[in-house]
Amino acid sequence: MTEVYHYVVLRLAPDFLRGEALNVGIVLLPLDKQKSPSVIMMAPLNKLRAVDATWDTERLRKWARNIETIVQMNSDSQKIVDSLGSFGFCDPKAIGMFTATSASEVTQKISEVKVLYVSNKTSIERQKREKKTRLQTALRDQFKKMQVLGEAVDDLAEHLVVPNVPVPEYPELKTDFLYKNGVYRVTQTLDYRVSPDSLHNKLSEACVKSTAAELALKSYGSDTLRLAVLDIPEEFRDATDNHIDLLLSQGFEVFDFNDPNRMLRFYELGAPPPKGLALN
Amino acid sequence: MDLPLARLSRETLACIDGQCKRMYAPSNKRWGYSPYRHPLRALMRNKLNSTYIPNVYPHIVSLRPANGGVNNLGFGTDTQNQEYLLKAGAKTCIAEFVGAGLCAALNIEHCQPKIVTRTNLSGSKDYLFGSVLEESLLKFDMRNISDWQTVLAMMPKNPFFTQVLAVDLSLGNDDRHQDNWLVRAPAKTSFQHEMLAMDFSNSWPNCMPPHKPHKHPSPNTWNFVKHWENLGITFDHEHFRSICAKISGLDSTWITATLDPLVGVWLTHLDQQQISGWWDANWQAHIVDVINALEIDGDWQ
């Protein structure tokens, strides 16, 4: 059943004289009277401390407790909003609303509200930025020199190599490089130039990348070429044998980034002929 | 056939005036006893298909509030995923419809007004004004001079701002600041942008009578006009007069028809009659004042 939830954004002015108010959370007001209103604090302490360094966890907790007291003192939603508004803890006219059919949808909508009103936007954008390994950067640079590197998915139609393409229907999964000429050519990379402590993570990365390629085949066709480029330092060669076995068993052709002859073969398969400088 | 409420209202009033009794009289076999055969019922059935009927207005299912938004409640989305800029308050909502109606009558680009509903804190439905946010609207930083200059350079050289000024001064709108505009992306066949006027919340009949041009409580409209020169906007006196002449030519049937969809939502028939009555008695004299204010006081720009 679809349920209606209202909310007001909680505003905290860390310094009375400066009067700069920050959005720090919400009060969620379910329309269903069986459910209680709840105070949901969302802002990290450092958001307040950027304005006034005297704020600490205890002071913020005390502030939130006060909001909870005001909420509990009032019998209905309108009174809660009016009281919070009269103390300057919210804009009583700015009442938000969403509908949800399940508890998980409520959680999701609250996350959206947090992103919209409370989270530091810069940090969200930063999180979205893809981490690139040295191997991926090296391949990008090589494709750029060959003048075959595309930017957007549309560039596939121009027979360019497009980096970081989401797998259709599974946008969380990516193919590191994708190129189409007759058939699709999916390239996944594994960069083993990491500290020995992190080596164990590479097996799961190999699994994820292999799964992504497998799922991509559903959309790109079973004749899609699966290519894997691995950069393995000499000291890890023995430890990574089972990773390579996994990729081979999944239908990948595996290329050693440190073997120039094999890489020439990779560029023949995974990219169009160079338009610019010759291959390194 | 979808009948406008204007016609229904006249029929309703006629009914109240006595025709109804005659139609329902048992001796009148022409209509019989079946209420569904009554012509008013036929109209009521048609009215159910109308967009003016309560409960068929778009219903807001998500509202992102505008903190500190004064008249603006925020952005709402209805069940069909259409987005609106929302406003509350009967007078504000009526003023928005009148402003949009006047722009429409004069072929001035404006936001499309809608009556929408939402579930309020107590769980009942209330009516809001929703300004439809078209998909073709562009992101435009209204406080950035270079954004303004870019958009103005891509607009057709028509006296759009003069026309909107004429509407604002006629309606006593003292709140036409730099934020109250929207930019529509060019259509496929054109490279030119279009600007839309939005926000008539402070206008007549919210302010009754309309503010005199040089007695605006808020300086926003005139402050923006003073800024025109910096943006490269010019005042077209000829068009101003021509638009004012068209505005003064709109009689009270126009305002009555404009208010018709709002009767039963934010207005009673009596309110509607009072507003129309004021228009009948004062509108033309008020427009003469508006024109004179600009002709006599040459220092306004």
The larger pLDDT score, comparing residue B298 to residue B196, is at B196
Summarize pLDDT for B221-243 with one digit per residue, the tens: 998 998 888 888 888 888 899 99
- Tell me which DSSP letter residue B81 carries: -
B197: left (phi over 0), alpha (psi -120 to 50) or beta: beta
Tell me, what's the pLDDT at B298?
52
Distance CA A72, CA A81 (A): 12
Three-class DSSP category at B166: helix
Contact by Cβ (8 Å): A30, A7: no
Strands B194-197 and B181-184: antiparallel
CB < 8 Å to B77, chain A: none
Which of B69, B118, B122 is opposite residue A97, by nearest beta carbon?
B118
In one-letter notation, the amino acid at residue B77 is T
The H or E element spanning position B172 is none
**What ipTM goes with this model?**
0.71
pLDDT-based confidence at B23, cuts 50/70/90?
A: very low
Contact at CB, B69 and A4, closer than 8 angstroms: no
Which of B60, B74, B119 is opposite residue A94, by nearest beta carbon?
B74
User: A206 CB contacts (<8 Å, ≥6 apart)?
Assistant: A190, A243, A246, A247
The larger pLDDT score, comparing residue B112 to residue A278, is at B112
Distance CA B301, CA B291 (A): 14
pLDDT > 70 fraction of chain A, expressed in percent and rounded: 94
Which of B63, B68, B121 is opposite residue A78, by nearest beta carbon?
B121
Which of A77, A95, A97 is opposite residue B62, by nearest beta carbon?
A97
Q: What are A's interface residues with B at a Cβ cutoff of 8 A? A: 4, 6, 8-9, 11, 23, 29, 31, 76-78, 81, 91, 93-99, 116-117
User: A83 CB contacts (<8 Å, ≥6 apart)?
Assistant: A70, A73, A74
Which of B62, B66, B122 is opposite residue A98, by nearest beta carbon?
B62
CB < 8 Å to A96, chain B: 63-65, 74
- pTM confidence score: 0.64
The H or E element spanning position B44 is helix B39-47
pLDDT > 90 fraction of chain A, expressed in percent and rounded: 46
The DSSP bridge partners found for residue B207 are: none
Show contacts of A49-56: CB within 8 Å, 24+ apart. A51/A14, A51/A15, A51/A18, A51/A20, A51/A22, A52/A14, A52/A15, A52/A18, A55/A14
Of the ranges A39-53, A83-97, A263-277, which is most confident?
A83-97
CB < 8 Å to B68, chain A: 91, 94
Contact at CB, B65 and A9, closer than 8 angstroms: yes
- What's the mean pLDDT in B171-194? 83
Contact at CB, A96 and B63, closer than 8 angstroms: yes
The single residue listed with the structure tokens 């309703």 is B12
Contact at CB, A94 and B62, closer than 8 angstroms: no
Among A95, A97, A101, A112, most B C-beta atoms within 10 A, so best to mutate, is A97
Contact at CB, B63 and A91, closer than 8 angstroms: no
Contact at CB, B69 and A94, closer than 8 angstroms: yes
Closest CA to B204 of B258, B161, B240, B241: B258
| Cβ count within 10 A of residue B301 | 12
Q: Which stretch of A88-97, A150-159, B16-25, B199-208 has the lowest confidence by average pLDDT? A: B16-25
Contact at CB, A94 and B122, closer than 8 angstroms: no
User: A163 CB contacts (<8 Å, ≥6 apart)?
Assistant: A136, A140, A143, A149, A150, A176, A177
Q: B160-171 and B90-105 are packed helices; what angle lies between their axes, rounded to 10 degrees?
A: 140
Which of B61, B66, B67 is opposite residue A99, by nearest beta carbon?
B61
Contact at CB, A96 and B65, closer than 8 angstroms: yes
Contact by Cβ (8 Å): A264, A280: no
Supply φ then ψ for residue A168, to 5 degrees: -55, 135
Tell me, what's the pLDDT at A78?
94
CB < 8 Å to B64, chain A: 96, 116
What is the overall mean pLDDT for chain A?
Answer: 87
Q: How many CB pairs under 8 A join A and B?
A: 55
Which chain B residue lies closest to A77 (C-alpha atoms)? B121
Distance CA B44, CA B46 (A): 5
Distance CA B298, CA B301 (A): 8
Asked whether residue B74 carries a pLDDT value surpassing 90, the answer given is yes
Which chain B residue lies closest to A99 (C-alpha atoms)? B61
CB < 8 Å to B119, chain A: 4, 31, 97
Closest CA to B104 of B95, B113, B94: B113
